[in-house]
Amino acid sequence: MLRVAWRSLLTRPVRAAVLAAGFGFGIAVMAVLLGVGEVIVEQARAPVLAGGGDLVLTGPFGPVTSARYVLSVLDAPDIRSRLAAASATRRERLFLITSGRAIPVSATGGVPSREKAVGDPEAAWPAWQDGPEDAAWVHPDAGAVLRAMDRFHAVPEGRPEDDSWAEWLYFNGRTPDGRTRVYVTFLVGAPPDGAAARGAPAAPATRPAGVRLQLEHDGRATAYSAAGLVDAASVLASAPDLDIAGNRVRLEGSTYVIALNVAAEGPARQGGSSQSGSARARRLTGTLRLAAAEGRSVPPATVRGAGGWVTGYTVPVLAGRMDGVLEADGTTVRFDGAPGYHDHNWGFWKGVSWQWGQVAHEDLSIVYGRVFPPSDVADPRRMPGFLVVLGPEGLLGFSSEVAIDDRREGRIEVRARRGVDLQMTLVVDETVRTAMALTARRGEAPMDFLQLGGTYRVAGRTGGRALEFSARGSAETFKRRPASSPGAAARR
More confident residue, 315 or 17: 315
pTM: 0.72
Q: What are phi and psi of 153, to 5 degrees?
A: -115, 145
Least confident of 125-134, 149-158, 263-272: 263-272
Higher pLDDT, 54 or 293: 293
Mean pLDDT of 193-218: 71
Q: What DSSP letter does each residue of 164-213 carry, written as one string?
A: -EEEEEEEEEE-TTSSEEEEEEEEEEPPGGGTTTTT-SS--SEEEEEEEE
Q: pLDDT at position 249, please? A: 97
Is 70 exceeded by the pLDDT of residue 242?
Answer: yes
Q: 2-11 and 13-45 are packed helices; what angle lies between their axes, rounded to 10 degrees?
A: 110
- Span 433-462, average pLDDT: 78
What local confidence, expressed as pLDDT, does residue 275 receive? Answer: 40
Higher pLDDT: 224 or 36? It is 224
**pLDDT-above-70 percentage for the chain:** 80
Residue 236 DSSP SS3: helix
Kindly tell me if the per-residue pLDDT of 270 is higher than 60.
no
Q: Which CATH number fits domain 350-492: 2.40.370, 1.20.58, 3.40.50, 2.60.120?
A: 2.40.370
| Confidence label for 258 from pLDDT (cuts 50, 70 and 90) | very high
- Tell me whether residue 86 is exposed, middle or buried, using C-beta atoms within 10 angstroms of its C-beta: 0 to 12, 13 to 18, 19 or more: buried
Interval 58-116: pLDDT, tens: 655 556 666 766 776 676 666 667 777 777 777 888 888 888 788 888 888 888 888 88
Contact status, residue 228 vs residue 251, Cβ threshold 8 Å: no
What integer is the mean pLDDT of 363-367?
86
2.40.370, 1.20.1250, 3.30.420, 2.30.30: CATH of 143-348: 2.40.370
- End-to-end CA distance of the chain, in Å? 83
Does the pLDDT at position 488 exceed 50?
no
Over residues 28-45, the mean pLDDT reads: 71
Q: How confident is the model at residue 412 (pLDDT cuts 50, 70, 90)?
A: very high
Q: What values do phi and psi take at 440, rounded to 5?
A: -65, 130
User: Considering Cα of 301, then 357, then 481, then 273, what sign does the dihedral take?
Assistant: negative
- Please tell me whether residue 259 adopts helix, strand or coil conformation: strand
pLDDT score of 63: 61
Computed over every residue of the chain, the mean pLDDT equals 80
Burial 356-394 (b: 16+ CB within 10 A, else e): bbbbbbeebbbbbbbbbbbeebbebeebebbbbbbbeeb
The average pLDDT across 324-336 equals: 88
User: What's the rounded Cα separation, in Å, for the pair 219 and 194?
Assistant: 39
